[in-house]
Structure 1
Amino acid sequence: MARWGITLPLLGVPVLEHRALVSELAGLGYTDVWSAETTGTDAFTPLALAAQWSSELRFGPAIAPVYTRGPATLAMTAATLAEVTGGRFVLGIGSSSPAIVQRWNAIPFEEPFKRTRDTLRFLKAALAGEKVTAEYDTFAVSGFKLERPPVERVPIMLAALRPNMLRLAGREADGAITNWLAASDVAQVREELGESELAARIFVCPTEDADAARALGRMLISTYLTVPAYAAFHDWLGRGEALRPMREAWAAGDRKAASKAIPDEVVDALIVHGSVGECRARVAEYQTAGVDTPIIALLPTGGDQVEQVRALAPKA
């Protein structure tokens, strides 16, 4: 089944105002709704609501950090979402970032690969209904058992950028969730992941004002791709030299210069922009390249976001 996802809630749109849109999505050809968790809504509440407005879509967080909820709490939340979605739930987890984990939640951001691996292993056992007593490298659990385990197995996908996490996702999870990649990068990511499901959040700016789209893209790229994990990801993908001037300006504290230093070709590779038809075709290129589940993340253009979601649908 060809999948086509959308990131909800839409920027600036209250959660409860999504009901009519969610009820339309399956008919438009969307198969998935994925949430995000940074400084807006949490990862789970919008999905629990949206699941009551559609009986066909699949739902998942992309992603829930493995640090900001205890392992047992994360298992209980996943079990609850599996129940309220009627089994149409995929749990996306990942290490997140030092800003979210340490600066905003006051939790040490230590050993992210091991913490993600350990949480994955715990969740697989807990969601299967096992009573878990285990010493992991990064935490220990003693005697936890879900009161009401999910009726159906809950797939777990990992946020993954580089080979070690991608291989872990392919080996022990049900797939990987990635972002900030070009369609031309997919083959390199797929080679490490293997045949498991690959989901990719794709930033889409449906406007024919290329200068405006690139300006927004530069702001986002300079903010994200200076984070160490994303910087290392793009070094691995081969963009390190192209992004070096941006990184140097950012490290010197000159945010404007950092943004200006990003070449057009990098912005155009990582941000999908143009008419809605051109954007839809660009997203489809990711599928052709090997992404199983493209997840559109709509960037603001000043236009009607609900209409843009409709226009970007595969059946539009």
Structure 2
Amino acid sequence: MRIGYATGYWKQGPPPGALKAIRAAERLGYESVWTAEAYGSDAFTPLAWWGSRTKRVKLGTGIAQLSARTPTATAMAALTLDHLSGGRAILGLGASGPQVVEGWYGQPFPKPLARTREYVDIVRKVLARDEPVTATGPHYPLPYAPPASGGPAATGLGKPLRSTVHPLRPDLPIYLAAEGPKNVALAAEIADGWLPFLFSPSANAEFAGYLAEGFALRDPSLRPREEFEVAVQLAVIPHPDVEAAADLVRPTIALYVGGMGAKSANFHRNVIDRLGYLDACDRIQELYLAGHKKEAIAAVPTALVEEVALIGPPEKIRDELTAWEESVVTTMLVQGPAFALRAIRDVVTGTGSLAYARMAARMFARSTRS
């Protein structure tokens, strides 16, 4: 099992200790570092800033939102980062949800699958640099033309253009964040990797089936199926007390189940529903939307936390790793303070001393109590 480090969302400012943790992750052999964006910090700038202080670790956007930039602007940012980092960029993309897309970016959300397909195709054309980029649309026509349904008029002066910069890697990896069945299949069809969220090994057969549907349609010019990556962001918390460790994860689950997305359109909650937690999700969402966040957090079952995270004593985590290793997952993207990264690496990769991991687990427990 490979391992990467996710810096997570910013709050009032940059995550405290992020650079220290990133440099520690590189020193400890973590393969990649990932940033996030929603409607605050962007995904590319931190990678350029922090990436300049590293030499080897890959730099992934986890995720850059489609509606935040046109496809050509995203391709420009990715190829620029790839040049500056010496070929270390991974472009993670995702459609986000209607609340953010329409409420923050002022863009229409319908037909996310069709938009994603067009978007990735244009990005690949920019990176290939074989010819001036054109696209028929309807979502991202190049040159611009008003949609048949009406829209701002065109001057008629637009012309197909080719990037002035030669991309360092025409095959720069593109991963897609996806949660629904059709979106997961699309990732296997057109991308180089899949970024799942709230993944559980208990649903592995289901997700493997969606991936197989996409692989059956995959263009042979893309990377072979055997090189397709599945990089899942999850909490790995070595901690002497399972319930105390679960308490560190419950707020995130409550937020995504209860407060992310509209009540009638919450893709994160749909994933948990399919795991068999429909009643629990109803309760969490009801409490969260009523403003009772503490009660919503407390309503997250420990069993649910243990499905989508690895928590508790190092021996317990290592025992539970087998199910993850036998799943479609190829890389775990973990979070944690710099001092815990060695213990997390040792537990996840099955290397190092369990005694050290136990000591780090106790340190983790003390740090969360203070």
Which structure 2 residues correspond to residues 288-307 of structure 1 after superposition, within 5 A? 288-298=326-336, 305-307=337-339
What's the TM-score once normalised by structure 2's chain length? 0.74
3-state SS of 2:196 partner: strand
1:302 is matched with none
Measure, in 1, the Cα distance between the counterparts of 2:329 and 2:114: 26
Measure, in 1, the Cα distance between the counterparts of 2:285 and 2:21: 39
1:210 is matched with 242
3-state SS of 1:140 partner: coil
The letter of the residue matching 1:165 is N
> Residue by residue, what CA displacement relative to the aligned partner does 1:55-114 show, whole Å, maximum 9, x if unpaired?
322221111000011222111101111111211221100111234333333433332222
How far the C-alpha of 1:242 sits from its partner, in A, is 4.3
Is the 8 Å Cα contact of residues 287 and 293 (structure 1) preserved in structure 2?
A: no
Is the 8 Å Cα contact of residues 15 and 46 (structure 1) preserved in structure 2?
A: no
Is the 8 Å Cα contact of residues 242 and 313 (structure 2) preserved in structure 1?
A: no
Number of equivalent positions: 309
The letter of the residue matching 1:164 is K
Measure, in 2, the Cα distance between the counterparts of 1:285 and 1:308: 23
Greater per-residue strand proportion = 1
Is the 8 Å Cα contact of residues 236 and 344 (structure 2) preserved in structure 1?
A: no
Which range moves more in the overlay, 106-115 or 70-79? 106-115
What's the TM-score once normalised by structure 1's chain length? 0.85
The letter of the residue matching 2:122 is F
Is the 8 Å Cα contact of residues 9 and 37 (structure 2) preserved in structure 1?
A: no
The letter of the residue matching 2:167 is P
Measure, in 2, the Cα distance between the counterparts of 1:177 and 1:9: 14
1:137 is matched with 138
Measure, in 2, the Cα distance between the counterparts of 1:102 and 1:141: 22
| CA RMSD across the alignment | 2.8
Matched, 1:173 2:191: yes
The letter of the residue matching 1:201 is Q
Percent identity, please: 30
> Residue by residue, what CA displacement relative to the aligned partner does 1:215-266 show, whole Å, maximum 9, x if unpaired?
3433221210243111222333443344333334445554444333332211
How far the C-alpha of 1:280 sits from its partner, in A, is 6.2
What stretches of structure 2 of length at least 5 have no aligned partner?
144-159, 213-224, 353-370
How far the C-alpha of 1:117 sits from its partner, in A, is 1.7
Which among 268, 286, 293 is matched to residue 230 of structure 1? 268
1:239 is matched with 277
What stretches of structure 1 of length at least 5 have no aligned partner?
299-304
Is the 8 Å Cα contact of residues 176 and 193 (structure 1) preserved in structure 2?
A: no
Matched, 1:220 2:258: no
Which structure 2 residues correspond to residues 20-35 of structure 1 after superposition, within 5 A? 20-35=20-35
3-state SS of 2:254 partner: helix
